[in-house]
Structure 1
Amino acid sequence: MPQPKRWLDSYPAEVPPTYDYPSMNLARLLVDSADRYPSHPAVEFLGTRYTYAELRDAAYRFANALRAHGVAKGDRVAIMLPNCPAAVIAYYGTLLTGAVVVQTNPLYKPQELKHQLGDSGAKAIVTLDQLVPRVEAIREYTLLERMIVTSVAEQLPWPKSWLYPLKLKRSKQFVKVNWTETVTPWKTFLASAPASPILEPVDAVEDVAVLQYTGGTTGVAKGVMLTHFNMTANTYQNKLWFHKCREGQEKFLAALPLFHVFGLTVLMNQAALTAGELILLPRFEAETVLKTIHKRRPTVFPGAPTMYIALINHPRIKEYDLTSISACVSGSASLPVEVQERFEELSGARLIEGYGMTEASPVTHANPIWGKRKIGRVGIPFPDTEARIVDSETGEELPAGEIGEVAVRGPQVMKGYWNRPEETAKVLRDGWLFTGDMGTMDEEGFFAIVDRKKDMIIASGYNVYPREIEEVLYEHPAVKEAVAVGMPDKYRGETVKAYIVLKEGASVNGPALEAYCREHLAAYKVPRYFEFREELPKTMIGKVLRRALIEEEQAKAAAGREAASGAASGADEGSAEGCPPPPPPKA
């Protein structure tokens, strides 16, 4: 028997448990705000500014140009750009035609592009001049008919627009593009079409708005089909949660990349819905973010934990006024308690942890921003969102307090995976999305994420959840960042290894950290090995690539087995089971 929605008792009075979400083309978010606030600032990028009317008209031009070049409803258009005005214009312009946006990471290498562009069947791509060689390298393997090329320089105000190309030439990063009939300059493309209104009718529940690829950290990246209704509903859910939002007055600091679904929903779509100003930064740099907050006075700053970690550890953070910020939502990874408390102390803002995944547009849970919250938990389900803790195999709902897989259901849950019905069937069961994340729910309906099912370490038969270890390590005064992984062990099956980045000027060694962990963790959870690094591998959003570290350990183990086999047999080939792990590094 389903358990009651006990989390509703913790809803702020201003947040309704259910809402009538509009069924519409997602681009209406921009069009409607432009109709209400035509002269209001919409986008600011390093000194370049667009009003809502200017942004809407540019999106109309882009949409009409796409149509003139044969892009029709349902066709896929890839956007491979950092945060910049062109990324916003191309996004809404594509949606206006009824075509599908394929968000592509500008850091992708040709092999990754080959998979994503080939799998999606994208007909056109919008990208930077510096990235053209990567696209050209794999174009023959795709269905691309047109490349629309912009540059950072042409989106900057004078004199930055003149100085930027000189900087690229000096650093030997300048790329000369060979313009052809199918490779078109951005400005030429926009100028070729009128700004006449265009808004393709859609079946919001069925028609895909965004094909968002998963990170591929657990296998081949899959295209997540997010419909116009999925994206619209999640944008409204975020607005309902941010119940103190002042329409036409908020300023959203976009340090998160817009090509990531978190930035897409909580920044670009949210700003458009509320007629807010979107302050774009092309990448996250702690000092740039601090200067921007001090000067531009943003009020909303969603981010990843690593962003807040970098800010609170910046040596001159007290020189900057952060008090304009009222609300921050942290996602993509667990938020250490000490980071949350320190950032709130420095800014006066409310920093809350949320939870979601690409397959849910992405947000499903969050702590109330102004209301009851629980430190160390990802909060409670959004309006119209149900969540359960279930047995991964049977799907049976588990009692409060037990660890199981998190399953969610709501209007933001994806339609499925692009051209992968079998993969879809594995995670979508009777409308419930099985997230692959292990968690718990307490008696009041607050959820905690223990770890991804695939990241769980099994040591001597015990389940070890990396997040629990990392939380303890983050509490050590010398630790800036920490990640725990499982590494092969002849006796225990797996054992725990921790990768550590120290705070500037701090000093601690492996034995000291091990002793510290023994004070706070059961013996089988304590890391046996520590590796100290200057930095950890991360995605562009700042999420630690745990899988990359695991693969490193697997490669080391494989090399160790090969070496052991060669030493034993005198041969160049062979294998030996049970190669012992390497000794811990000297501290």
Structure 2
Amino acid sequence: MKIRSLQRHLASVRRMKLGRSHRGLRARLELVSERSLGVGTFLWHTLDRAADLDAPLLHHLPRGGGEKDIRSYSLADLRDATERYARWFHAAGVARGDRVGIYSGDGIANFVHFMALNSIGAIPAPVNPSMAPQTAARYLKRLEPRGVVADVDRLETLLAATDSPEGFGFTVSQEEVDSAGRVGPLPVGYPYMHGDHDPVLIAHSSGTTGMPKAPILGHRQFFAGKRPRILTMPSGVDDKNLLVFPPSHGSGLSYMMMATLTGVPTLVMEEQRGPAVAEVMRWWKPTVVIAFPITFGELAALGVEPSVASRVTTWLSTADASHEAHVRELVRLGRHRVGGKWRQGSRYIDGLASTEVGMAVFQNIHGPDTDAYKRCVGYPEPIVEEATVYDEHGKRLGPNEIGFIAVKTPTETLGYWNDPDLTHRSKHDGFWLTGDIGYYDEQGRFYQYDRATDVIHTARGPVYSLPTEEIVLKACRQAVDCVVAAAISPADEELSEPIAVVRLAERCDLTSRELLAQLNGALRTAGAHELSAVVLVKGENDIPLGVTGKVLKREVRTTYEKVLLSDDDHGLDIARTRSARTAPNAPAPAARRRQTKAA
């Protein structure tokens, strides 16, 4: 809806107070109509209209905790904590434009730092608490921060991981900031009023291609996609959110913002593992579960009892697109309303997103009776002005032609911190290149086939890992997760062959040889390139994930790139096809080699 039409609609609507009743449509329309509403002002606009400041809103569950360990926060609590942190930062010399790194495992603390630093015009740079200290140290130093706040234990490991702690500015423990109390003055002009293009967050990417990148998100830009969601997010009287995103991640901060604006009680978890989430669902009884695909994959493989998900109406996922096998399992659970009556089955909102665009740019909504799979990521979000596909020379492609997906959207990052060259190379003709390979069909639906860096170049041409993973997961329902990646071909070391690293459920006793035969049978039936090897893993950390929940395929490739060149399994459970044992250095046909490189 346009702002002017909203204002006309509201002309006949009396000003409503927010609080327990602010889930109503009229109150949310009033918020959306505020022209100055953005990341830097959302808290103040909410407080200005709140009727019940003391109603519990955000509920924090620490890692390893249970129902009795929850700490609840009202709007008044968030306001007071934001002001207290702002006073501390101001006294520490933090001013407009300064960057401050946050390296904390406390989800609510991340959110309060985010609001407090913005309230004085500074720029928060939260770091996922799972990021290795050495990586975190290098990443933070690139930002040239005014200071770094970290939990006591993380601060110790962070300082031990660097030779020059001076590059962090001041360093202080989260515990010291919390114990400081309400001291010192607030800066003149508090809270800071942001301009449209003022930076409000330096996020970090997952690091799937190396050192995490540092995209800058702006006051208006980062909020552009959230404004319409104030009206569309489930926010009925009985709704309750379970937020499983890392709270330091842009998506975690986004949904805590949405909870603040819509007033929906939201439980913020520190743990993202499927079994822990299933246990919390037993007693929290959420209607909306918000998580990365890896968490939903674990829930699906776990076989969640219907009673645990009895009140779920919506599973909401973002980052990489989800796998069909996992989605189908989850939409059978929960409930949806038809004609005023509850029916079995829920919806799964699957969003393909990237940190650089601050939100999902494609959305596919699944239900018990929908069938838009085969790596379909759906239509562009309404906020996206245009989406297209380019070839490697920058030429636009037509329907069903595979190339580089690009979007034109007001949610696009302001650029990478202190890296104009990377910013420039990520754009083409006004479009942001998402890094995904795919195509769109005649109906305008988009399909994601791979990340550009993950395409497997074989003697027969390119093999796309994501569609292959879909077939693997459908053929083996005992698989919790699967990564299809490139290994060096024994026939020509300039080329590759696809292998699969599969994590099976604990109760599954399939051998790698049995699984390889099963999977290649399914791939042959589908007319797809067969696997040259299967590597079985059992542990939850055996498939490396980035700190934003994305699989680090570069690490999988590095670990297993020579698996076809030797029969030495190094104690791993590996099965190879007979053809994969071809003598090394046997040349592939020259024509095929040229075709593969061109692809």
Q: Kindly tell me: are residues 556 and 503 of structure 1, through their superposed partners in 2, closer, same or farther at Cα, counting changes over 3 Å?
A: closer
CA displacement, residues 158-214 of structure 1 (integer Å, 9 cap, x when unaligned): xxxxxxxxxxxxxxxxxxxxxxxxxxx122334324689931122222x11111122
Q: Is the 8 A contact 1:24 1:202 kept in 2?
A: no
Distance (whole Å) between structure 1 residues aligned to residue 516 and residue 159 of structure 2: 51
Distance (whole Å) between structure 1 residues aligned to residue 294 and residue 399 of structure 2: 31
Distance (whole Å) between structure 1 residues aligned to residue 185 and residue 266 of structure 2: 25
Q: Kindly tell me: are residues 84 and 150 of structure 1, through their superposed partners in 2, closer, same or farther at Cα, counting changes over 3 Å?
A: same
- 1:423-462 aligned within 5 A: 423-462=422-461
Partner of 1:170: none
- 1:48-197 aligned within 5 A: 48-137=71-160, 138=162, 140-150=164-174, 185-193=176-184
CA displacement, residues 414-452 of structure 1 (integer Å, 9 cap, x when unaligned): 111111111111112343101110111122221111111
CA displacement, residues 338-390 of structure 1 (integer Å, 9 cap, x when unaligned): 21121121223311211111110032111247998823421211123134332
Partner of 1:202: 194
- 1:482-493 aligned within 5 A: 482-491=482-491, 493=495
1:512 to 510, 517, 541: 517
Opposite residue 539 of structure 1, the aligned amino acid is G
Q: Is the 8 A contact 1:359 1:414 kept in 2?
A: yes
- 1:466-505 aligned within 5 A: 466-476=465-475, 477-491=477-491, 493-505=495-507
What's the RMSD between the two structures over aligned residues? 3.0
Opposite residue 327 of structure 2, the aligned amino acid is Q
Q: Kindly tell me: are residues 358 and 142 of structure 1, through their superposed partners in 2, closer, same or farther at Cα, counting changes over 3 Å?
A: farther
- 1:168-567 aligned within 5 A: 185-193=176-184, 198-205=190-197, 207-242=198-233, 244-246=234-236, 250-265=239-254, 267-314=255-302, 317-318=304-305, 320-348=307-335, 349-368=346-365, 374-375=372-373, 376-476=375-475, 477-491=477-491, 493-508=495-510, 509-522=514-527, 525-535=529-539, 536-554=543-561
Q: Kindly tell me: are residues 45 and 194 of structure 1, through their superposed partners in 2, closer, same or farther at Cα, counting changes over 3 Å?
A: farther
- Unaligned 5+ segments in structure 1 are 1-15, 152-184, 561-575, 581-587
Distance (whole Å) between structure 1 residues aligned to residue 549 and residue 38 of structure 2: 31
CA displacement, residues 552-583 of structure 1 (integer Å, 9 cap, x when unaligned): 134768999xxxxxxxxxxxxxxx98499xxx
Distance (whole Å) between structure 1 residues aligned to residue 532 and residue 42 of structure 2: 52
In terms of mean alpha carbon deviation, does 44-53 or 186-195 score higher?
Answer: 186-195
CA displacement, residues 58-105 of structure 1 (integer Å, 9 cap, x when unaligned): 101111221121100110011112243212211111111111111212
CA displacement, residues 377-416 of structure 1 (integer Å, 9 cap, x when unaligned): 2121112313433224333221112111110111110111
Partner of 1:155: none
Cα deviation, residue 222, structure 1: 2.0
- Unaligned 5+ segments in structure 2 are 1-28, 62-69, 336-345, 568-582, 588-599
Q: Is the 8 A contact 1:510 1:529 kept in 2?
A: no
Q: Is the 8 A contact 2:487 2:557 kept in 1?
A: yes
CA displacement, residues 211-233 of structure 1 (integer Å, 9 cap, x when unaligned): 11222221332210111112111
Q: SS at the partner of 2:168?
A: coil
Opposite residue 505 of structure 2, the aligned amino acid is K
The TM-score normalised by the length of structure 1 is 0.80
Q: SS at the partner of 1:496?
A: strand
Q: SS at the partner of 2:115?
A: helix
Aligned residues: percent identity?
24
Q: Kindly tell me: are residues 291 and 538 of structure 1, through their superposed partners in 2, closer, same or farther at Cα, counting changes over 3 Å?
A: same
Opposite residue 235 of structure 2, the aligned amino acid is C
Q: Kindly tell me: are residues 324 and 211 of structure 1, through their superposed partners in 2, closer, same or farther at Cα, counting changes over 3 Å?
A: same
Q: Is the 8 A contact 2:487 2:563 kept in 1?
A: no
Distance (whole Å) between structure 1 residues aligned to residue 94 and residue 238 of structure 2: 36
Distance (whole Å) between structure 1 residues aligned to residue 496 and residue 356 of structure 2: 30
Opposite residue 252 of structure 1, the aligned amino acid is N
Q: Kindly tell me: are residues 300 and 460 of structure 1, through their superposed partners in 2, closer, same or farther at Cα, counting changes over 3 Å?
A: same
Q: Is the 8 A contact 2:380 2:387 kept in 1?
A: no
Opposite residue 479 of structure 1, the aligned amino acid is A
Opposite residue 88 of structure 1, the aligned amino acid is F
Cα deviation, residue 142, structure 1: 4.6
Q: SS at the partner of 2:135?
A: helix
Q: Is the 8 A contact 2:59 2:265 kept in 1?
A: yes
Q: Is the 8 A contact 2:437 2:451 kept in 1?
A: yes
Distance (whole Å) between structure 1 residues aligned to residue 44 and residue 565 of structure 2: 56
The TM-score normalised by the length of structure 2 is 0.78
Q: Kindly tell me: are residues 209 and 365 of structure 1, through their superposed partners in 2, closer, same or farther at Cα, counting changes over 3 Å?
A: same
Q: SS at the partner of 1:235?
A: coil
Q: Kindly tell me: are residues 511 and 58 of structure 1, through their superposed partners in 2, closer, same or farther at Cα, counting changes over 3 Å?
A: closer
Q: Relative contact order (alpha carbons < 8 A, sep ≥ 6): 1 or 2 greater?
A: 1
Distance (whole Å) between structure 2 residues aligned to residue 219 and residue 285 of structure 1: 24
Partner of 2:22: none
Q: SS at the partner of 2:436?
A: strand
Opposite residue 240 of structure 2, the aligned amino acid is K
Cα deviation, residue 32, structure 1: 2.1
1:31 to 41, 44, 62: 44
In terms of mean alpha carbon deviation, does 376-385 or 47-56 score higher?
Answer: 376-385
Distance (whole Å) between structure 2 residues aligned to residue 146 and residue 63 of structure 1: 16
Q: Kindly tell me: are residues 269 and 136 of structure 1, through their superposed partners in 2, closer, same or farther at Cα, counting changes over 3 Å?
A: same
